[in-house]
Amino acid sequence: MPARMPSSASQAASAAAGPKVGREDDPRRPLLRLATFLDDGSLRLLTPQDSSGVLAAQGTVRGVPVVAFASDATVQGGAMGVEGCSVILTAYEKALADRVPVVGLWHSGGARLAEGVVSLHAVGEVFAVMTRASGVIPQVSVVLGAAAGGAAYGPALTDIVILGPDGRIFVTGPDVVRSVTGENVDALRLGGPEPHGRRSGVVHVITETTEEAYQRAQLVCALFGAQGELDVSAVRDRDLIALFPESPKRAYDVHPVVGAILDEGETLELHPKWAPSITTTLGRFGGRTVGVVANNPMRLGGCLDSSSAEKAARFVRMCDAFGVPLLVVVDVPGYLPGVGQEWDGVVRRGAKLLHAFAEATVPRVTLVTRKAYGGAYIAMNSRSLGATRVFAWPGAQVAVMGAVAAVRILHRRRLAEVEEDDRTRVENELAQEHEELSGGLPRAVEIGVVDEIIAPERTRSALATALAQAPRRRGQHNNIPL
């Protein structure tokens, strides 16, 4: 943890001016923010309105009971001292006792400078209670303004981080960066939507308006807090094949496929722009909350890479911890090869996805639409990792690698001896032979790594039946921010 956690210049300025009382029309007032977020008339304060810098309340969102707390940015830039941190602890104790989601509305410069180390200790206690609550109750963060230092790590420890248009997240603000390293960078570039949406993976959801940030957080509470029952009879089959290109080599956007598998209505894609070769989406299926993990061939051809494996691993562990079943839609050519990936830790970070699926106890059903090759085949919730059920569409390729690529390795010497003009013909012959020998999809069914070949037009009903028949379980682990 950096030494300079109390980092906001505005905090120092506010502290010098003394505690300010928020004006009635100040949009940063925590009571106003909590009242806006919670269902009308449902708000009950858990802590008094004072100068502690944080306010906590219980209430409902979309009828689901929740606990929420908000930074008071009108006092010392929302900085967290002993009293403010104790408000957050109170909120967590209540949420843990009631087993309900807890939502933080963040706008804070971090630990209170004026209080010294005692404020660092208090912030550390907040981190500890968040970790204790991890995997037990859903934790959602909505970052409405600057969240620096300790106020950056608070949200980062939670399950889902939503960034509003004025939200900025950084360990140290622009002023400190400039004074320490001389680097000239503004808050937007340091910790705005672009860096956190595309590069860092800190933020799950970016919104264009503050209102939308609240709505997304409300949706998360509803999806986790009121998961519903899967009604198989309500799941209608749809023509999914129309969403795929004719050529099996051609990339396509998987989003419409995920949308067509899920029920119509609200869905929430997490990390849409970070690690986009895989998509992670919460939604409803037959009325029940599910998580969908799907390779997206439009980006990197759908390859797994170090960040997409990590993104999916965290999503799988989160869903497992909260008892949310998983649908895994596979069309993956492999792990992305290359020195960049190796140096980026594709082995270490890829291992997280293997671990996440292998430990998951929620129902988790796999559908191979076009292909599943090599190590990526294993990682995408294969039979060997304990998939509840594995379906494949007719014509899907399930193999170590493509047949031509395989014979180029297996028959390297023989191919080297063949005349250049003739090589493609020989390669194709060998590839056909290889496919017959390795057996393709029928062989995958025979050995039990694919349970059933299903027609695309009955995919939804098959997925629904498989999920409904599986025993209901929930992972007994936390959700470390991988």
Partner 1 sequence: MTQRIASDLVANVALVHVRVGSSVQAGDEVALLESMKMEIPVVAEEPGTVTDVRVTPGDVVQEGDVLVVID
Given the residues 287, 374, 375, 439, select the one marked as catalytic: 375
Q: How far is the CB of 298 from partner 1 (least distance, A)?
A: 7
Residue 228's φ and ψ, nearest 5 degrees, are 75, 175
Does 103 bind partner 1 (CB under 8 A)? Our answer is no
DSSP state of 172: S
210-225 and 30-37 are packed helices; what angle lies between their axes, rounded to 10 degrees? Answer: 50
Task: Rule CB under 8 A: choose which of 6, 154, 174, 333 binds partner 1.
Answer: 333
Which residues does residue 290 pair with via DSSP β-bridges, in sequence order?
A: 283
Quote the tokens at residue 344.
Answer: 């980026």
Q: Which is nearer to partner 1, 5 or 303 (CB)?
A: 303
Q: Which is nearer to partner 1, 2 or 248 (CB)?
A: 248
Q: How far is the CB of 279 from partner 1 (least distance, A)?
A: 15
Task: Rule CB under 8 A: choose which of 203, 254, 336, 390 binds partner 1.
Answer: 336
d(CA 187, CA 343): 29
Task: Rule CB under 8 A: choose which of 173, 193, 334, 475 binds partner 1.
Answer: 334
Tally Cβ neighbours within 10 Å of residue 3.
7
Q: How far is the CB of 295 from partner 1 (least distance, A)?
A: 11
Cβ 292 vs Cβ 327: under 8 Å: yes
Q: Which is nearer to partner 1, 249 or 412 (CB)?
A: 249
Residue that is written with structure tokens 């699926």 in the block: 357
Q: How far is the CB of 343 from partner 1 (least distance, A)?
A: 12
Q: Residue 287: what residue type?
A: G
Distance of alpha carbon 482 from the chain centroid: 10
CA-closest candidate to residue 283, choices 323, 324, 331: 324
d(CA 153, CA 245): 43
Residue that is written with structure tokens 């396509």 in the block: 252
Task: Rule CB under 8 A: choose which of 32, 89, 251, 418 binds partner 1.
Answer: 251
CB neighbour list of residue 450: distance below 8 Å, 6 or more residues apart: 368, 383, 390, 391, 392, 398, 441, 444
Q: Active site includes 150? A: yes
Phi-psi map region of 124: left, alpha, beta (phi>0 left; psi -120 to 50 alpha): alpha
Q: How far is the CB of 240 from partner 1 (least distance, A)?
A: 20
DSSP state of 197: I
Q: Which is nearer to partner 1, 72 or 305 (CB)?
A: 305
Binding piece for partner 1, criterion CB under 8 A, among 145-153, 308-316, 335-343, 381-389: 335-343
Q: How many residues bind partner 1 (CB under 8 A)?
A: 18
Q: Which is nearer to partner 1, 150 or 333 (CB)?
A: 333
Does 338 bind partner 1 (CB under 8 A)? Our answer is yes
Q: Which is nearer to partner 1, 44 or 250 (CB)?
A: 250
Cβ 372 vs Cβ 334: under 8 Å: no
Q: Active site includes 286? A: no
Q: How far is the CB of 378 from partner 1 (least distance, A)?
A: 17
Q: How far is the CB of 297 from partner 1 (least distance, A)?
A: 6
Binding piece for partner 1, criterion CB under 8 A, among 56-64, 86-94, 226-234, 245-253: 245-253
Of the CA atoms within 13 Å of residue 251, those in its CB half-sphere come to 13
Given the residues 150, 192, 334, 402, select the one marked as catalytic: 150
Q: Active site includes 149? A: yes
Given the residues 84, 149, 173, 350, select the one marked as catalytic: 149
CA-closest candidate to residue 15, choices 114, 132, 136: 114
Does 403 bind partner 1 (CB under 8 A)? Our answer is no
Which runs of consecutive H residues, i.e. helices, occur in 380-458?
403-410, 412-417, 423-438, 440-446
- The DSSP annotation for 294-330 comes to EE-TTTGGG-B-HHHHHHHHHHHHHHHHTT--EEEEE
Q: Check the CA dihedral 376-379-382-383 and report its sign.
A: positive
Cβ 56 vs Cβ 88: under 8 Å: yes
Q: Which is nearer to partner 1, 276 or 439 (CB)?
A: 276
d(CA 201, CA 156): 10
Does 468 bind partner 1 (CB under 8 A)? Our answer is no
Does 249 bind partner 1 (CB under 8 A)? Our answer is yes
Q: Which is nearer to partner 1, 19 or 338 (CB)?
A: 338
- Map the footprint of partner 1 across residues 296-325, applying CB under 8 A: 297-303
Binding piece for partner 1, criterion CB under 8 A, among 62-70, 243-251, 388-396, 424-432: 243-251
Q: How far is the CB of 300 from partner 1 (least distance, A)?
A: 5
Does 402 bind partner 1 (CB under 8 A)? Our answer is yes
Binding piece for partner 1, criterion CB under 8 A, among 177-185, 193-201, 308-316, 336-344: 336-344
Does 63 bind partner 1 (CB under 8 A)? Our answer is no
Does 400 bind partner 1 (CB under 8 A)? Our answer is no
Q: How far is CA 150 from CA 70, 146, 174, 288, in A?
A: 15, 11, 16, 36
Does 201 bind partner 1 (CB under 8 A)? Our answer is no
Binding site for partner 1 (CB under 8 A): 247, 249-251, 297-303, 333-334, 336, 338, 340, 402, 405
Q: List active site positions.
A: 149-150, 375-376
